[in-house]
Amino acid sequence: MSEAKLDAALLAAHAAGDRGRLIRGYEQAADLAEAAGDVDRACFFLTQAWVFALEAGDDRANGLKARLTSHGREKAE
């Protein structure tokens, strides 16, 4: 998905309050940033996805935390 389409999808997901789509969209944005070598930007998006996953009680929260931990942005328990 292009960055412009992803931005539009995230705006629509925010407007709809759809946490599932927000988690998926922010994770996709993190993937794109990581592929471009921008770890700081990727971690920003991962943090957004993680917060929405925690709020939703979504199982993806653990994997998102693991990705943040692998970049030194969160501590492993």
Residue 3's pLDDT band (boundaries 50, 70, 90)?
A: confident
So what's the pLDDT on residue 54?
97
Residue 5 CA to residue 57 CA, distance in Å, equals: 27
Residue 8 has, within 13 A of its CA and on its CB side, a CA count of 5
User: Is residue 77 over pLDDT 80?
Assistant: no
So what's the pLDDT on residue 74?
77
pLDDT in tens, 45-60: 999 999 999 999 999 9
Backbone angles phi, psi at 6, to 5 degrees: -65, -40
Burial tier of 63 (Cβ tally within 10 Å: 0-12, 13-18, 19+) = middle
pLDDT in tens, 7-40: 999 999 999 999 999 999 999 999 999 999 999 9
